Chains A and B, each alone.
Chain A
């Protein structure tokens, strides 16, 4: 059934008791053409694009918990394509374009809201850096506007413009950026993929990879072995663990990233605002809570929870930017595990083992990348060749010295 005003009306008459389930709960079959490990946004988007755009319907997505229980439900829901480097901009802009038509593609309200992403600058040097970034974006056909202080004051008069240490001089604005509802993105992809015949198998943890000769021919799971023509990993956060089942070592460390929500307040923050002199970014959810975050904790972790020094650091950034939030109470905070790569950019590639494909290394950038990640990974799985927008996200780029290091930090994952 398509969701529409008519179906809403019809179901209103039956008291909303007769809505069909959004996706099935199938038992795993013994063999699929493609088995995707990881039922987050990326895995489900991959299944959707494989089924819709590449005609492969014989697909299973296996997930150890429930879909969206990992990082897909732990991010701060920001979408944007304000990158600097040629390897990144086309990919994230493809993603942005897919966000813009996602609700029509999926027949699902994912609450995509292009409310703008504003990166503040605090010095002449930082303005020059943002001008360069904005120019790089515009050369790739991405929208970017460099704002002066008066223009930022008009947008967000509550910021601490005359802060003695970090005065706000202006900002780089991407109006097409914004937020989307992360749970709805997962549900939308799951429902759309399910309608195309994809089996979504929850509570099914992969415990091993099936090897025949040098090939990977399926997965061992808590619900039995599932054989596959192609096995595709989309398990960011735990990529090293799953890849180690095949004996692979990767240029990835797992790190905890915390995020925060305040109690609800009246509409305050117009879009997404990022502090340029520390790591703090904030938006406001439709429920009124301020959603904000900052740096990763900075040491290897699989704990899905963080420590106090980063909470303090993030809140200090918030106070420097908008002191009036000092009396808002924190409602909750949580942690997710990031695949931090050695250059801060993701990997969508074949592995050295035939039959095993890798989608990993999303660092902080995974949520916004969801649609393009799915499309490009599906392209790779279906055609065997990288998608044009993801051709630089190769696994061997580290050994080749072709890293994509947006921040210029070198091979130190906790600094990206």
Chain B
């Protein structure tokens, strides 16, 4: 599978590390346990098009948002993620 990195061009998927579905968004800190359990654990897991995060480990070190079909592995689009993802895990003083 070739992933079209916007910076490096089409590159072997072996150069990338997979993070997973790009859809979940970290809830606000006070959103409550249910919202966080949903964010951490629950996934749509579609058969078909999905947007997902790939890290170009052996290339430009960029995080990409790739639109890919999970039934055919066909890639429709890839762009650099706007912000560093995933959000850093913060220590809580508990």
Q: Are A252 and B43 in contact (CB under 8 A)?
A: yes
> Is B65 located at the chain interface by the 8 A CB criterion?
no
CB closest residue in chain B, given A412: B20
- Cβ of A302: which chain B residues have Cβ within 8 Å of it? 47, 70-71
Nearest CB on B from A5, distance (A): 48
Given contacts A399-B34, A413-B20, A414-B20, contact A300 B44 (CB under 8 A): no
Known: A307-B73, A399-B37. A299 touches B42 (CB 8 A): no
Within 8 Å CB of B37, what residues of A?
Answer: 398-399
- List B contacts of A398 (CB < 8 A): 37, 40-41
- A302 to B45 alpha-carbon distance, docked (Å): 10
Q: Say whether A300 contacts B70, CB under 8 Å.
A: yes
Tell me how far the C-beta of B14 lies from the nearest C-beta in chain A, rounded to whole angstroms.
4
Q: How far is the CA of A244 from the CA of B14 in the complex (A)?
A: 31
A253 to chain B: which residues have CB within 8 Å? 20-21, 43, 45
Count class of interface residues, chain A: 20 to 34
Complex CA gap A414/B50 in Å reads 16
Asked if B1 is at the interface (CB within 8 A of a chain A CB), the reply is yes
A362 CB → nearest B CB, Å: 15
Q: How far is the CA of A283 from the CA of B18 in the complex (A)?
A: 30
Q: How far is the CB of B15 from chain A (nearest CB, A)?
A: 9
Q: Which residues of A contact B70 (CB under 8 A)?
A: 254, 300-303
Assess whether B92 is interfacial by the CB under 8 Å rule.
no
Give Cα A301–Cα B52 distance, bound, in whole angstroms.
12
Distance to closest chain A CB from B20 (angstroms): 7
Give B94 Cβ to nearest chain A Cβ, in Å: 13
12 A-B pairs whose Cβ atoms sit less than 8 Å apart in the complex: A253-B45, A254-B70, A300-B45, A300-B50, A302-B47, A303-B72, A307-B1, A309-B14, A342-B40, A399-B33, A411-B40, A413-B20
Extra 11 A-B pairs, beta carbons < 8 Å, given A299-B13, A309-B14, A399-B37? A240-B43, A250-B43, A251-B43, A253-B20, A253-B43, A298-B18, A301-B73, A307-B1, A342-B40, A398-B40, A411-B41
**Chain A residues in the interface with B (C-beta under 8 A):** 238, 240-241, 244, 249-254, 298-303, 307, 309, 312, 342, 398-399, 411-414
